Amino acid sequence: MPDRSQHLIGLLLGAEEDWPQAFEALLSRVGPVGDGNGTTHEFGTQRLSIEPFDLNDPVRVELVIDRLAYWYYHPREWLKKAALMNGTYILNSPFTFQSMEKHSAYCAMLRLGLKIPRTVLVPYKNPVDNVRWAYTSAKYNKPFDLDAIADDLGYPMYMKPFDGGGWRGVSRINNREDLHTAYDESGEMLMHLQATVEYEKFARALSIGAETMVMDFRPDEPMHNRYAVDHGFLSADTGAEVLTISRLINAFFRWEFNSCESLVIGSSVHPIDYANACPDISITSLHYYFPWAISTLLKWSVFCAVSGRRPRLDLDTSRYFEVADSDRSYSEKLDAYRELADSYFETERYQEFCATSLAAVDALVRDWVASPAFDALLVDTVRATYPAAEHDRFVAHFRGLIGLWVADNA
């Protein structure tokens, strides 16, 4: 009798239904997975609920795909307990969520020499809800000239919350009137002012584990139209740089399910937003790229479970800073960062695992995406997302894009 090992993957979810249903359906179709050493691995999923927990409670799931804890403290603290006490593997480290509040991520990547636009953090516009505020601000908050700061950065610029999150509170600032209106409306939000890069291309790179998809993103379009299906919108070298930067950021912070937004001018890449605890993977926004996202999430989760990959709670930043502080060129530093990232993600081992133990997954995904079951999920998602009068239009729109993916991957 062959050895059998059972694995349970936990889904910590918010308001999403489309991708969790897709993930569950595909994982159930994968069946037993061999590891090449005589053990057969079987998988199940559990949607995790929020409830009181004893710090000594056992944890049944061995890997968690988290889409909630960035926004809520209770599940975040459960993830920390599970990682520290139970060895649970979590795709985004709960210990660096503070860095996902953008500010720390900007600082870290500036330290590593990336081309982050000039960014200034300004104090709160309105008093925060803290009894110490009045005394502290009267004694220690120095007056500052907001206009002078903006003049130094140069118009246009962007004002955005230091902690980000779903484009909340982001304003393009074209002049002093915009500046003061946006700052007055910021209230108790702590804001960055960031210099504008008048870009030629906006690249959004979605990374899941050891894989990355670099997509042509058009932020001014409606959500269903923001991701253009354009495989050659960047040169090979620029595309490789965007990919390397995304992997570097994720390896540095121990994030394994994250998106990175970069502005591209010629061959110059400027990352502007690369700390997304819940990157968008909805059918109605990713459309053509949705099958890749779900199949990659499945492959990485299975690889982590079967290979016994352990959570890395230490950041090991000194190895990255050694590269940053060296006299290497920018290109040479990127090569060194890529090596560090590939080492963290065990890229070669993952690729070999996919080519052997998961060799049938790509065809399985393609067949399922072309099936009536997937189409039913697509139709249900459209109906839940758009007004009734627009259902037929958007069903046809997304069917066309999914059909293009099926044809391209035939």
Reported as a single tens digit per residue, the pLDDT across 119-162 is 999 988 887 777 777 788 788 778 889 999 999 999 999 999 88
Buried residues in 198-227 as b, exposed as e (16+ CB within 10 A) = ebebbbbbbbbbbbbbbbbbeeeeeebebb
Q: Are 172 and 197 in contact (CB under 8 A)?
A: no
CB atoms < 10 A from the CB of 368, how many?
A: 18
Which pLDDT score is estimated for 1? Answer: 39
Q: What's the pLDDT at 188?
A: 84
Q: DSSP code of 19?
A: H
Tokens of 119: 């960014």
Parts of the chain with a pLDDT under 70: 1-4, 98-99, 165-167
pLDDT of residue 134: 78
Predicted confidence (pLDDT) per residue in 213-227, tens digit = 999 999 989 999 999
pLDDT for position 207 = 97
Residue 374, pLDDT score: 97
